[in-house]
Amino acid sequence: MNQTMEQTVYLNSDRVNLESINQFSNDKVHCQLSDQEGFVNHINQGADFLQKTLTDKGIIYGVTTGFGDSCDVAVSEALAMQMPKNLYTFHGCGTGRFLSPAQSRMVLAVRLVSLCQGVSGVRYELLQQLVSLLNHNILPIIPEEGSVGASGDLTPLSYVAAVLCGEREVYYQGEVCNAKDALRDVGIIPLQLKPKEGLAIMNGTAVMTALGIEAFFRAQYLAQLNARITALASIALGSSPSHFDEFLFSVKPHPGQQQVAAWIRDDLQSGGTLFDAGRLQERYSIRCAPHVIGVLQDILPWYKNTLENELNSANDNPIINADAETIHHGGHIAFVMDSLKNNVANLSDLMDRQMALLVDVKFNHGLPRNLTGAESSVQAINHGFKAVQIACSAWTAEALKLTMPASVFSRSTESHNQDKVSMGTIAARDCLRVLELTEQTTAATLMAAIQGVQIRVRQGELKWEHLGSSLQTFISDVEQKVPFLTEDRALDQEIKQVAKLIRQQHWNLYG
C-alpha cells in the first residue's frame, strides 16, 4: 500500500479507525494532537483529581498501593512520587527480538489514542511527549517477549515509559542510541512521571493491538492476492472458468465467498479462448478456493470492528472518572489473533496445494515436470520448481503448527492475583509469524503460476492478448522482478523479494 508523504493524523478524544493507525508505520506521517481548551482540560482534569485524592490521603491502586498482588501494601505520599520509575524499572526484563521501528511507531500511536480518552489520570504534557517521539522518530526499542497480556503489555510498554523519561535505547536516525542523547538532540526534556502515569502507559494493550492492526492489513491483502493467484493457476492448469460461475455462488450466499469468486471471474474474463484442459471438475484447491479464501474475507469486518473497539478503549487500571470524582478498577485481541492465524494458515495450505498441482505432471495437464523452462536436450538435469514446492510444504507445516491458540495457555501470575490472563501478545506474535510463512508460500506459488502461464503462451496453447488487461499488467510487473525460469537458478532471493513486495502491498489488485 503506497502511503503519501507528509500526511498528518489529528488526534483528540474522537474515535480513530485502523487505517489512521496503520499510517503510522510510515515514518513520514506527522501526528498532531488537539490543543483545543476543552480537550486539554479534559485530559488534565484526571491528573488534577488524582493529585487532590493523593493530598487528601485517599487510597489509589498503583499510586498509594503496590501493584498486582501487592495491592494491599500501603505506599506513602512521598514514596508515591517514586513509584512510576520503580514500575518501569523492575519491568525492564524483556527478551527476544525487538519490534521493528514501524511496529514501535504503531505502539506509540495506539497508546496515545487510548490515553486521549481522558480517563487514565495523565497530564496533557505526557501526551505531547508521545507525539514528540513520533514526530522526531525517536522510537523505543521494545523486546517482543515477556508479556502475558494482563492487564496489558506491562514489560514491553515499560520500554516506552522509560524512553519518555530519557532512559534505555531508541531507534533514531537509522541507528540505535541512548534515549537521553536522542531527546537532547531534538530539544526534548525527559519527563518525570507523576503518580499513576507509569501505570497508565504500561497497563494497556498497545503492543498486542498494534501488532494486531499490522496483521489485519497483511491478511486483508493476502485474501485478494490468493484470489489473483487462483486465477493464474486456473489458466495455467486449463481449468474451466465455470467453477467460479456467479449462479453457483449465489445459491451459497456467503458474502466473502461471493466476493472472492467475483474477483477470480474478473481475472478470467478475456478477449478470446483461454487454454482448456477439458477436465469436468478441477481439484478442490482450485475450484473451491473461494470457499477457503472466503472464510477469511467474511470474518475480516468482525476482526476490524473488534480491533477498532480495543484501539479506542481506555484499557489501563484503574480508570479515573474525574467528573464524578471516582476511581474504577476493572481478551478480545487474543481471540482475534488466534482466529486470524488459523484463517491465514489455511491460505498457506491452499497455495501449497496449488503449487503441488502445478509442478506434478500427473495433474498439471501437459505442463513440463516441475515447471522447468529448459530445452528438451537438458530437461533431464533441470528441476525447475521442485525444491520450491518442498519449501512451500515446510513453510505451510510450520504455519499450521502455530495455529494452536495461545489463549488456551493462560498462566496464573502475580501470586494468583492475575490468575486468568489473555496471552494476547503471544497470539499476535504467532499470527505475524504465520503471516510471514504464508507470504513466502504465496510468493513462491505466484512465481510458479506465472511460470505456468508463460509456458502455455510459449507452447502456443494460450495467446497473450486473450488475457485481461489487469492480468497482463500484473504478470509483466512480476516478470521484471522474476524472469522466466529457463535453466535452474537459485530462487531464494527472488522469493524473498516477492514476499517483501507482498508485505508492502505493492500491487493494486481489485481496488
Residue 134 neighbours by CB under 8 Å, 6+ apart: 24, 31, 105, 108, 109, 112
- What's the 3-state SS for 216-281? HHHHHHHHHHHHHHHHHHHHHHCCCHHHHCHHHHHCCCCHHHHHHHHHHHHHHCCCCCCCCCCCCC
In the block, residue with C-alpha cell 489487469:
470
Cell of 224: 485478494
Residue 33 neighbours by CB under 8 Å, 6+ apart: 11, 12, 112, 116, 127, 128, 131
Instruction: Identify the bridge partners of residue 178 per DSSP, sorted by sequence position.
Output: 169
Could you give the residue numbers annotated as active site?
A: 61
Q: In this structure, are residues 195 and 63 in contact, taking their beta carbons and an 8 Å threshold?
A: yes
- Residue 338's Cβ-side half-sphere holds a number of Cα atoms within 13 Å equal to 15
Cell of 44: 488534565
Burial of 176 (0-12, 13-18, 19+ CB in 10 A): exposed
CA angle 80, 83, 86 (to 5 degrees): 155
